[in-house]
């Protein structure tokens, strides 16, 4: 686990992925963070967990159309809240980075720390569900072997991404790199911006 400057209290990727793994494996999420940054990290992962479940349900072919519509509405809701949490993660991290003097030749990172933590969240879910596939007893050996190979690749991808997050925050803490909060402006959820909603007639 990479050490951070104590006064900045920036998260290490290993801490983030540990929380995400515990949350993905839990039967029911129990929010436990008192810190605003970690609350946002937990909320982001919660909504990704809910999105995963709703995306699975939305692909059912043996239920009524109204049930699929309900799944689609839930997907929109959780996706909006997921993006809101990403922005709060970035706001909290940038608040902690305020004491850092940005160097004149500092590089701007196109991806924010929040979006990287969101990608780690999705990776945690893929790893959790792929691991379940490796433990099934109702499939043949080829299925298990294929799932194990995919699991190894997913773990490698997450390790690489975690290293990139640690590097970004380490360089941001020294003023060598910076990023901005990017607003997602999800227009489809806004009745004032979605033409399918404001052009009802």
Q: Is residue 72 part of a domain?
A: yes
Number of domains in the chain: 1
| Residue 197 clears pLDDT 90, i.e. is over it | no
Cα 71 to chain centroid distance, Å, stands at: 20
- 54-79 tens-digit pLDDT: 999 999 999 999 999 999 999 999 99
Question: What is the average pLDDT score of the chain?
Answer: 91
For the chain, count helices (H), then strands (E): 6, 2
Q: Is residue 145 part of a domain?
A: yes
Report the pLDDT value the prediction gives residue 1, as an integer from 0 to 100: 45
Confidence of residue 194 (pLDDT cuts 50, 70, 90): confident
- 12-40 tens-digit pLDDT: 999 999 999 999 998 787 777 789 999 99
Which domain, by its residues, includes 41?
13-189
Q: Is residue 197 part of a domain?
A: no
Q: Is residue 63 part of a domain?
A: yes
């Amino acid at each position: 686990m990479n050490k951070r400057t104590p006064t900045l209290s920036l998260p290490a990727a290993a801490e983030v992925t540990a929380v995400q793994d515990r949350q993905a494996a839990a039967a029911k999420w129990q929010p436990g963070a008192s810190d605003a940054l970690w609350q946002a990290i937990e909320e982001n992962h919660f909504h990704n967990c809910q999105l995963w479940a709703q995306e699975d349900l939305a692909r059912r072919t043996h239920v009524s159309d109204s049930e699929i519509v309900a799944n689609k509405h839930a997907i929109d809701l959780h996706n909006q809240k997921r993006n809101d949490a990403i922005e709060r993660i970035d706001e909290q991290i940038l608040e902690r980075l305020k004491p850092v003097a940005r160097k004149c030749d500092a590089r701007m990172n196109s991806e924010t720390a929040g979006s990287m933590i969101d990608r780690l969240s999705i990776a945690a879910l893929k790893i959790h569900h792929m691991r379940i596939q490796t433990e099934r007893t109702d499939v043949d050996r080829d299925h298990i072997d294929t799932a194990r190979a995919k699991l190894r690749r997913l773990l490698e991808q997450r390790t690489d991404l975690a290293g990139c997050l640690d590097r970004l925050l380490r360089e941001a803490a020294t003023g060598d790199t910076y990023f901005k909060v990017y607003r997602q402006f999800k227009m489809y959820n806004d009745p004032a911006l979605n033409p399918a909603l404001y052009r009802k007639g």
